[in-house]
Amino acid sequence: MSATNISHKQEWKNSRHGAWAGRGFSYQYLFSCVILLRQWAGLAPAGALVPEGLEDCTVEFQNTETWIQIKSQKGKEFNPSKVADFFLKIEEKASKITTDKTIFKVVGLEHPCKGTPVKTIVSVFDETDRNIIVCSSPGDEAIELILGQLNVAGIIADQILSDLYRLVSTASEENASLDFDDRRRISTSEVQNRIDHLLEALDSSAIDKAIIEGKVESVDFLSPISDHSFYQGVKTMPGHVASGLTCDRPVEVEKIVRVIREKRTVCISGPSGAGKSALLWMSAFAMSSDLRWLRIFV
């Protein structure tokens, strides 16, 4: 088999480096999420977590800092000499820092280090030298923490974790270009606020109550409206779109749908009679099966 004529199977095997690198970052972000959730739950001291700080994850307290290298690898124990190298790298970096704070060094591992007692993430802030933490399933631990604190369904816990994961990954990206003084830090208060806002948005009972009180109504995209005065300048409604009374505007509709999918919000502006409401409802009609659409009365 020549280098220019190999099978898909072989090329797949040869190109897994990027996939494993992505898996490593995913593990790192989930590990950080568990720390944030333990702080939020009151199971760990509250401090500012800095993703991709001076280490993979740095947690800053008033008088101390915990620097954590977070490592994953395919299902086998870590070699002690390799783990020792991880600590040497942390210690070398810490030795260059001038600070009044005590720096504690931690290595977080997906699997145990051979010959080393297993300590879980519960002990991540133990003030000991060369603290080795094993967290084999950070995603599962995070979900368990959420369910232990909140009376919510598993799918809601998944969404909370997804939101925190996105927070950590975004903060990591921001810290790539920020100066130290402007570094992105995640506090327990921010975690609490995000969870509160997400739970409020996911509380279907609040929407149902608003519907009952007549403040909002579900949009009916199926029932046509026969309106002989439509072309005399009436405000477009979903039923007009269902009747086929509106003129096709595929370019504008495609742009609005794309922006909604990417940004979640869109503003349609223009002079009176320009067709704003028609464009609004045609775009919503194009996405009618994707989301639950509600009309707000003010």
- 227 shares a domain with 99: no
- 247 shares a domain with 192: no
* Lowest model confidence (mean pLDDT) among 18-22, 46-50, 104-108: 18-22
Residue 85 lies in a domain: yes
For the entire predicted model, the pTM comes to 0.66
Buried b (16+ CB within 10 A) or exposed e, 250-284: eeebeebbeebeeeeeeeeeeeeeebeebbbbbbb
- 139 shares a domain with 34: yes
Residue 43 lies in a domain: yes
Residue 279 lies in a domain: yes
- 197 shares a domain with 59: yes
Domain finish residue from 177, 202, 227: 202
User: 72, 84, 81: which is closest to 20 by C-alpha?
Assistant: 72
Q: Tell me which DSSP letter residue 280 carries.
A: H
Q: What is the pLDDT of residue 1?
A: 46
pLDDT in tens, 137-169: 999 999 999 999 998 888 889 999 999 999 999
CATH code of residue 78: 3.40.1350
* Lowest model confidence (mean pLDDT) among 78-92, 154-168, 195-209, 251-265: 195-209
Domain finish residue from 134, 168, 202: 202
Residue 131 lies in a domain: yes
Residue 5 lies in a domain: no
Residue 6 lies in a domain: no
- 196 shares a domain with 233: no
Q: What is the pLDDT of residue 229?
A: 79
- 290 shares a domain with 189: no
Q: What is the residue range of 55's domain?
A: 11-202
Percent of the chain whose predicted confidence (pLDDT) is above 90? 53
Q: What is the pLDDT of residue 78?
A: 95
Chain center to CA of 200? 17
- 258 shares a domain with 194: no
User: Which own/partner pairs from 62-66 qualify as long-range (CB within 8 Å, at least 24 positions apart)?
Assistant: 63/101, 63/102, 64/101, 64/102, 64/103, 64/104, 64/127, 65/99, 65/101, 65/102, 65/103, 65/104, 66/103, 66/104, 66/106, 66/124, 66/125
Domain finish residue from 160, 177, 202: 202
- 243 shares a domain with 135: no
- 231 shares a domain with 117: no
Q: What is the pLDDT of residue 18?
A: 64
Q: Tell me which DSSP letter residue 247 carries.
A: P
- 171 shares a domain with 100: yes
**Tally of structural domains, the chain:** 2
Q: What is the pLDDT of residue 159?
A: 93
Residue 211 lies in a domain: no
Residue 161 lies in a domain: yes
- 240 shares a domain with 130: no
pLDDT in tens, 280-295: 889 888 887 666 778 8
Q: How would you class 152 by CB atoms within 10 Å of its CB: exposed for 0-12, middle for 13-18, buried for 19 or more? A: middle
- 273 shares a domain with 156: no
